[in-house]
Amino acid sequence: MKEILKNNRNLVIVYLAIGLFNAFLANYKAGYFQKIVDGLTDQTITIYGILFYGTILVVDYGINYLDEYPAAKLENEMWLQR
């Protein structure tokens, strides 16, 4: 296990960084969704708020997609080393 982590140090760092960014984005997305809902009820929502929320969703789904590469690569490395 240590050998795999040593050989794939950059991949592990990228995997951890993406995981932290995903956690931050998930919390931010939930908070911003609440602002969108509040803007709908108060009738103070703007098109820019909706576009910004859409951008947050696209980035979130893109990062989740990219997160699978290092996870699969590390999993396959562990499987092949057995």
Give the chain's end-to-end CA distance (angstroms, integer): 10
Q: What is the pLDDT of residue 80?
A: 59
**pLDDT of 81 strictly over 80:** no
What does the pLDDT average to over 48-76? 90
Domain count, the chain: 1
> Can you say whether residue 18 is alpha, beta or left, with left for phi > 0 and alpha for psi between -120 and 50 degrees?
alpha
Q: What is the span of the domain harbouring residue 19?
A: 2-81
In whole angstroms, give the CA distance from residue 11 to residue 46: 40
Q: What is the pLDDT of residue 79?
A: 61
